[in-house]
Amino acid sequence: MSKDVVTQSPWRDWRPATPARIALGRAGAGMPTDEVLRFGWAHAMARDAIHAALDVPALEASLRAQGWEVAQVRSRAPDRTGYLRRPDLGRQLDADDAQALRAAAVAPSDICIVIGDGLSSLAVARHAAPLLAALKQHLPAELRLAPIVIATQARVALADEVGELFDARLSVMLIGERPGLSSPDSLGIYVTHTPRRGRHDAERNCISNVRPEGLRYEAAAFKLAWLLREALKRGLTGVALKDESDLAVLSAPDGAISALPE
């Protein structure tokens, strides 16, 4: 379509400042052809992010190279179709995998980290390992960590059952968020104190939009480290724990968790 038949939006100068679909202009009563094509491409990317399978061996190799101990599990959802149609199955561990984790939990832990594919395996494949590499710098040596668990066909609440099996004080779920048309690879983080089956969303803290174009790895790791420290110190998460990590920058520029609370 010729540019001279496109009516430009007066807000078009703002477009480089955001990936959001703003100031699209118009061609007659509709959108310009190039914007229609961009919309179709973005929609296809979002669908692919939801349906693509996570490359678990590649992620496990990246984590082991960082020095993490890793385990693999799956939910009770039999496949991707079952996962999308039955969210409840994605919140429950496969019975055999639950038994294996129970056998591996030889001692209580402070933190149990679960990585779930969620609704965007693309987000997990791109951002989980770099985020954990950034987080590792903030964790004290005396912290008791359960093995990192990679979970497929997983919902957020699956970390509650995993954390309960490891007798963890905190569970941390890294999970692919529902794709947007400008963000098909957004990673979410959920922190829950005393994880157990039946926990509600109000009992969790959430950090969202972790990716280079959103909340960058170092910033997300700082926020997560702050939440972990305060959750262990106060014995709670969720609506009772307000994220004041930005204020902590003034008193602790390095962002380190200085000591493990009793």
CATH code of the domain covering residue 139: 3.40.50.11240
What's the pTM value of the predicted model, to 2 decimals? 0.87
Report if residue 45 sits inside a domain. no
The pLDDT of residue 259 is 45
As for how many domains the chain has, the answer is 1
Report if residue 14 sits inside a domain. no
Interatomic CA distance for residues 70 and 252, integer angstroms:
31
> How many CB atoms within 10 Å of residue 71?
18
Residue 236's alpha-carbon distances to 205, 216, 227, 230, 240, in angstroms, are 10, 26, 10, 8, 7
Report if residue 3 sits inside a domain. no
Mean pLDDT to the nearest integer, 141-149:
94
pLDDT in tens, 211-248: 999 999 999 999 999 999 999 999 999 999 999 988 86
Q: Is 193 helix (H, G, I), strand (E, B) or coil?
A: strand
Residue 96 tokens, joined: 């055999």
The pLDDT of residue 260 is 44
**What is the span of the domain harbouring residue 165?**
55-251
Strand pairing report for 168-176 and 109-116: parallel
pLDDT of residue 1 exceeding 70, the answer is no
Report if residue 65 sits inside a domain. yes
Which residues, 6 or more positions from 102, have their beta carbon under 8 angstroms from its beta carbon?
165
